[in-house]
Amino acid sequence: MSFIFISIFWPSSWNNFFLAIPEYILRETTLVGSGINNYFFGHLTNNPPFYYYLFEFMVRTPPVIIFGFIFFIYLCVTKKGISVFRNKLSVFLFILLFLASISFSAKKLGVRYELPIWPWVYALSSCSIILVIEKIKIYWLRTAIACGLLVWFIFIFVSFFPYHDLYYNFFIGGPGNERRYDLVGVCEGSKGGVDYALKCFPEIKEIGALGCGSSTIPYYYPNHFDASWKNQKLFIVEAYYIQLEKDPELDNFVSQNKPTFTFSPNGVDLAYLYTQAGVKNDCALGSQTGR
């Protein structure tokens, strides 16, 4: 059934119906063994240390969930805890094995590779948190704590929508401080820059775009764009692209020039828009920050 549904929703595989999926798996197996440019703890690297995903887990997960998960582990080493959580130990083993398997791969890029374990981490953490709350004898206090946790999680969800990937907890100082440790907002900044360009520079029909432009911008930009930037009246560069130091000349330009517009949802710079002198800005707001 999985093979059938994947094939149905993957039109480009129809020309090679039976071999497309095996070929894709083989290609991914090869890519996993190869390094990829990343930024970690202030250094460029093709192979971050084995604790990379553990670090991502610790700084990208709400502290309450981390507390609940650690408490679950503690309960599992006690006799009473084992009796209560015996049927959940297999899930915990899956989390450990999956985290180990991605931690020793050469290719490490972004917290999204931890996605398969996050629902299970939240589930196990919730079990131990519920166990703690149930121990509180005062009904109103138990209810207040449960409602408070629910409101807090809803607040996080709403305040970071739709850029939930920008959430970092207080272990590294929250969003805005993560650039010192992590590669931030891969492929997330170009849309904000393009939206501003379309709104404020409607007469410009060709722009430069550096970052993930070739894979994202065609979905929401109707005009021509390319990776050139030196001779463009307007160009957009994603912040993560600057972190990777792919173009020394561009890095020098960015360090010496103030952007016309900075796209920074939740206080995190994701993209910068630059224009040549004299280009008319219909928004007439000069340098600014926006969502």
Q: How many CB atoms lie within 10 A of CB 226?
A: 14
Cβ-based neighbours of 145, under 8 Å, separated by 6 or more:
133, 136
Per-residue model confidence as pLDDT tens digits over 109-158: 888 889 999 999 999 999 999 989 999 999 999 999 999 999 999 999 99
Q: Which residue stretches of the chain are H helix?
A: 2-8, 20-32, 52-60, 63-76, 79-85, 89-103, 118-134, 139-160, 190-200, 213-216, 239-243, 248-256
pTM check: above 0.85? no
| Mean pLDDT for all residues in the chain | 88
Between these two residues, 240 and 1, which has the higher pLDDT value? 240
Tell me which amino acid residue 218 is: P
Angle (CA) 290-263-242 rounded to 5° is 160
Question: Burial letters for 192-212: b for 16+ Cβ neighbours within 10 Å, e otherwise?
Answer: bbbebbeebbeebeebbbbbb
Task: Return the pLDDT at 37.
Answer: 87
Q: How far apart are CA 94 and CA 99, in angstroms?
A: 8
Angle (CA) 38-41-45 rounded to 5° is 30
Q: Tell me the domain boundaries of the chain.
A: 48-175, 190-290
Mean pLDDT of 89-103: 92
Torsion on CA atoms 230, 235, 240, 243, rounded to nearest 10:
30
The two structure tokens encoding residue 23: 């070929």
**What share of the chain in percent tops pLDDT 70?**
94
Q: What are phi and psi of 25, to 5 degrees?
A: -60, -40
Half-sphere exposure of 157 (CA within 13 A, CB side): 6
Task: Return the pLDDT at 290.
Answer: 47
Is it the case that residue 66 has pLDDT exceeding 90? yes
Q: How far apart are CA 49 and CA 153, in angstroms?
A: 31
Where is average pLDDT lowest: 14-23, 109-118, 199-208?
Answer: 14-23
Task: Return the pLDDT at 33.
Answer: 61
Collapse the DSSP code of 18 into the 3-class scheme (helix H, G, I; strand E, B; otherwise coil) and give the result: coil
Length of the chain: 291
